[in-house]
Structure 1
């Protein structure tokens, strides 16, 4: 099998083929990892957020669309996809761990180093093994249709690490929309935080943390863990009533953020 790294766009089935779409993302990731390596510690989080927005929707769509096809058409499809699912699982766990570590801690450096190493390893496994094997089983028209499906799912996939939710359908399919909404809200909040310091950022940081807790509670709901392989199962399930707690957490966080904004405006008006 010829690695995608050494194939032209035409060999991969054209720009619309799922192989070409995958490789374009891998090229973008390589550039972002280079930027991350050159960034000072204070600027790493901004680059990491860009990496997350690229790799987590990419991987989620793979797990939802591509890997089921590989398991269906390849004799060793289960083993091949499980290897990558385990890599995805560790990437999610490492990224989640990073969020809890101080910028200057030695552990953060080790976790970040392992995350970068694993992301590069994941690209090689996909370009050298999984995707060429899929290419040998499907025609160009099938690869293009698969590319459209993968792109559509990617647009509706979470942008943050989720180490608890199933890595396989139907659990990950059921979790996609609610987790994506929470993640996009958190992405927006975190973008606002970077433009503020001190007391002005506190309500937003509280909101971001609450959104993260809501996502964590959501992905533990029993139905969202269906279909996963036992080797990637993490955490414990929560009963359905936990969904009500999620709504409460988010609503309270939004109210807190709005109250903080109003307080800030009153303080500004009083200073004039």
Structure 2
């Protein structure tokens, strides 16, 4: 049974640029941010900014996984399909929850409950990845650390240009996620830089564009399958 990522050194995981180390680093940062959000004595504005950081990191990180890592795991591991299907379901549930959070205001009594549910799912997703999926990827590439580092470079490049907000209708797998998701990235990042009121307006525009992109992908997919 492969060891959890939490039980291994940087060297055992393939070096600082390995995708396993990069993943673990993001997971640790998410854990830190979720603890910071819950910390006593924080103002509502401080909590809002922390939640924004959590959302941005969660969705750019997950998009890079779905674009780079999970296709590799499906190719390399006999049980890769079942493992990635499980975590994709978690990602979809997180998408749906955070989309609902973004529709609530700070005074909405549902908000804290939704945030706690989202945090619990994010922590479960991290455990599944560090204890199950990523050790299986490591096992499949145990004689090829260069491949882990190459995956790390590709994963980081996608993460830095990925959407930073939930788009629940966007497919979880390539090429559909890239066709629908990548054009949304620039709009998400503009949205992140705007004041709250303007963000709400742009958010509605992004939702419309996301729906159009998904519709386009489904039409292309139907056409491809019909050939």
- Name stretches of at least 5 consecutive residues in structure 1 with no aligned partner: 194-204, 229-272
Aligned equivalents of 1:111, 1:40: Cα separation in 2: 19
* Mapped contact 1:61–1:157 kept (Cα < 8 A): yes
TM-score (norm 2): 0.89
Query: For residues 161-180 of structure 1, what are the structure 2 equivalents within 5 Å?
Result: 161-180=166-185
Q: Deviations over 1:239-271 (max 9, x none)?
A: xxxxxxxxxxxxxxxxxxxxxxxxxxxxxxxxx
Give the SS at the match of 2:194: helix
The aligned counterpart of 2:12 is 11
The aligned counterpart of 1:182 is 187
Q: Deviations over 1:48-95 (max 9, x none)?
A: 111122111110000001001111111111111111111111111111
Moved more, 43-52 or 11-20: 43-52
Equivalent in 93, 96, 105 of residue 96 of structure 2: 93
The aligned counterpart of 1:118 is 121
Q: Deviations over 1:70-129 (max 9, x none)?
A: 111111111111111111111111111011223233311211110110111110000000
Moved more, 57-66 or 44-53: 44-53
| RMSD of equivalent CA atoms | 1.7
Judged with a 3 Å threshold, the aligned counterparts in structure 2 of structure 1 residues 11 and 225 are, in CA distance, closer, same or farther, namely: farther
Q: Deviations over 1:5-46 (max 9, x none)?
A: 111000000001000000010111111011111144443211
Give the SS at the match of 1:220: helix
TM-score (norm 1): 0.75
Structure number with bigger Rg? 1
Equivalent in 139, 154, 157 of residue 149 of structure 1: 154
- Name stretches of at least 5 consecutive residues in structure 2 with no aligned partner: 222-227
* Mapped contact 1:36–1:44 kept (Cα < 8 A): yes
The aligned counterpart of 2:59 is 56
Query: For residues 1-272 of structure 1, what are the structure 2 equivalents within 5 Å?
Result: 1-38=2-39, 39-138=42-141, 139-190=144-195, 193=196, 205=197, 207-221=198-212, 222-224=215-217
* Mapped contact 1:219–1:225 kept (Cα < 8 A): no
User: Which structure ranks higher in relative contact order (CA pairs < 8 Å, sequence separation ≥ 6)?
Assistant: 2
Residue 225 (structure 1) shift: 5.0
